[in-house]
Amino acid sequence: MKARSRFAIITTTLVALSLSAMASADMKHAGDGGLEFSLPGGTAGLKIEGKSADITASESGGKVTIVAKIECGETSCIKTGIDKRDEHLAKALDAKKFPTATLTVDKSKLTLPADGAESEGKTTGELKLHGVTKTVPVTYKVKRTGSDYHVRGTTSFKLEDFKIEQPSFAGVTTGKEVTVKVKFKVREG
């Protein structure tokens, strides 16, 4: 009976230590990053969409941080498919002055799956964009494969909340709310 009791204590201790190590392990960017945005139509149905692969994600100190590079020379790193529009986007985002956008989420607010499983949820994060930091809603899905977490997330916000002018050209404007989708992979350790 004593041997069984010692085995149970040792097993419980090992499980607790491994869970504790997993919860405190920092995660590093492991590739597969991307960003898409959509700014739906205002007048005349003008809709702007763009993509970028210039994002990184990591976790440290209980915070998951996603950084999107905005400034790429004279244009935005976020490509819309039209060079002139990319230049306008860089100008609207004041990319030279604010070269990145950062979303930070408390790891404790996320439901992380076991190996081979998936999870999803809703939370909030702090978005720093155009020199302004605001709380934004975040919807996410996570798939775990070994020590890798494959993450997809979405947020939406109003341009005016970040002091960004509503895009317009020749009297035609976009909508006022943008949706941003990101995907990335982080690895424990």
Task: Indicate which CATH number applies to the domain containing 61.
Answer: 2.40.128.110
Amino acid 6: pLDDT: 38
pTM reported for the whole predicted model:
0.80
Residue 128's domain comprises 2-188
Amino acid 25: pLDDT: 60
Amino acid 7: pLDDT: 34
Closest to 64 in 3D by CA, of 185, 158, 157, 159: 185
φ/ψ region of 131 (left if φ > 0, alpha if ψ in -120 to 50, else beta) reads left
Amino acid 74: pLDDT: 67
| 3-class DSSP state of 167 | coil
User: What is the mean pLDDT, run by run of 10 residues, along the chain of 189 residues?
Assistant: 38 31 64 88 79 91 92 79 86 90 95 96 97 97 96 95 86 87 92
Residue 128 CA to residue 147 CA, distance in Å, equals 29
The encoded tokens of residue 101 equal 């956008």
For 144-179, b/e burial (b = at least 16 CB within 10 A) is beeebbbbebebebebebbebeebeeeeeebbbebe
Beta bridge partners of 110: none
Closest to 108 in 3D by CA, of 148, 54, 62: 62
For 73-92, b/e burial (b = at least 16 CB within 10 A) is eebbbbbbeeeebbebbbee
The encoded tokens of residue 113 equal 């799956």
Residue 35 CA to residue 68 CA, distance in Å, equals 8
Q: Domains in the chain: how many in total?
A: 1
